[in-house]
Structure 1
Amino acid sequence: MTLTLADLHPVLGLRITAGPLELRGIADEDLLGLCELAQGGVHPPTQMPFYVPWTDAPPGVLARGTASYHWRNRADYSVSSWALELGVRYDGVLVGCQGFRTRDFLVTRTGETGSWLGREHQGRGIGTRMRQAVCTFVFDHLGATEVTSGAFLDNPASLAVSRKLGYRENGRRRLERRPGELAVNQQLVLSPADLVRGAPLEVEGLPAFRRLVGLDGAYPLP
């Protein structure tokens, strides 16, 4: 039997579609496109929507850092700690990345979403659709009982997506965002009953991914 990369890392065989939206595991050829998108800009330089200000890096450093993050994420997968990072395509065009990060999922059944879009693809409702899709996926196909998120108070677009999808406010945190800069982060929580659903999902590669994260026993290599 000939091995494929998806046999070794089943995230690469995972594909979630919802109408014109597609989320799938990030292969190296997709990673190049994501690095170019990130270099092209994710937000205005005066703003910072992320807990870790990774987009402040110079373009070449930003591209290498983006690639290194995804390579490291593949290597660090374990049942106790994993981050599902999916490339997002809309009408076949690569537009950004959608993630779901968790620890001890078999016990907690919860995790936090995170995402970004290239600036040229923002303002079209894609951010809402991709978060809607990943939340539906983890609720319906992985058995999550809640999903959390967070956004700084000066990031109204992200907060608007959360309200639209049914998240409830869940406290605030005072964080250092950039060095020496205080920012208040609104925490949010979503339950399956509150999720405002979108287009039905079609999922490929689910059984292997469930085994990878321990939901159906340990994942055996072929």
Structure 2
Amino acid sequence: MPTTASPLSAYPPLNVQVHTPRLSLLGATDELLERLVPTVRKGVAISPPWPFDDPMSLYEDSPEREWRWLRSIWSGRGRVSADFWRLYFVVAVDGEPVGMQDLKGVDFARFGTVTTFSWLSPDVRGAGLGKEMRQAVLHLAFEGMGAGEAGSDAFVDNHASNRVSEALGYVPNGVSWDTRRGERAQIKCWRLTREEWTKQRRDDIELIGVADCLPVLGIDPRKSPEASPA
């Protein structure tokens, strides 16, 4: 499996890693974010149908795009409590950063629910990496953190994201509305239970650094008996 020789951070969330045979999710350190800047500068949202809701830094013109993108991650990394947290991961293939995968928990200690967000460089789309990185982060949530349920949502014309959700056992969970680039659009909501995830659980995904991260997020592993953190 892929590995990284990056030194350990004093901040445990930056040390969390998830490895599959095809890719790695690595805690989004500043060094890794800098390596992603050329991809962000080149453009991630490049044509309709636009995949992201407002406000979204990736819709801005460069260099404001890169500045706002970095500031949003720096701000998000610092906003951590038991009520709300968001883990940011850089997706690496053969050691090269190609996108991001986030995992967000709201009142996780009470409800055990998570949601995900991701993007990939246009250069590597269409090769199944979107599904692989979603499987990786779901393994972290269910196996490493003891989650009971995962949610996802995407605009109805974001066919790639919706296909991934359907393929991984999510079921439709209603619709909602949001804006993208100032225009209203409908969103399709999805829900994945632990029971459904277990049916497709993989045994070739490796978790690293999860146990040290749980206290930072206000997660008590004694109250998450399903979790087996690394």
- 1:92 offset after TM fit, Å? 1.7
- 1:79 offset after TM fit, Å? 2.0
**Secondary structure of 1:141's aligned partner:** helix
Equivalent of 1:86, from 78, 85, 89? 89
CA offsets 1:176-197 (integer angstroms, 9 cap, x no match): 2222x12110000011222234
The answer to whether structure 1 residue 70 and structure 2 residue 73 are counterparts is: yes
Amino acid at match of 1:123: G
- 1:198 offset after TM fit, Å? 4.2
Amino acid at match of 1:31: L
TM-score normalised to structure 1 length: 0.90
Unaligned runs of 5+ residues in structure 1 are 218-222
**Secondary structure of 2:153's aligned partner:** strand
Show the 5 A alignment for 1:152-163: 152-163=155-166
Aligned length: 212
Quote the sequence identity (%).
32
TM-score normalised to structure 2 length: 0.87
Unaligned runs of 5+ residues in structure 2 are 1-6, 222-230
**Secondary structure of 2:63's aligned partner:** helix
For the aligned residues, what is the CA RMSD? 1.7
The residue aligned with 2:219 is: 215
Show the 5 A alignment for 1:163-178: 163-178=166-181
> Following the alignment from structure 2 to structure 1, what is the Cα–Cα distance between the partners of residues 29 and 159?
32
> Following the alignment from structure 1 to structure 2, what is the Cα–Cα distance between the partners of residues 141 and 46?
36
Amino acid at match of 2:109: L
- 1:54 offset after TM fit, Å? 2.6
- 1:45 offset after TM fit, Å? 2.9
The residue aligned with 1:105 is: 108
**Secondary structure of 1:86's aligned partner:** strand
CA offsets 1:2-28 (integer angstroms, 9 cap, x no match): xx8722x21111111111311111111
**Secondary structure of 2:194's aligned partner:** coil
Amino acid at match of 1:99: D
- 1:130 offset after TM fit, Å? 0.3
- 1:163 offset after TM fit, Å? 0.8
The 1:68–1:58 alpha-carbon spacing in structure 2 relative to 1, beyond 3 Å, is same
CA offsets 1:145-200 (integer angstroms, 9 cap, x no match): 00000011111111111111111000011222222x12110000011222234452
The residue aligned with 2:226 is: none
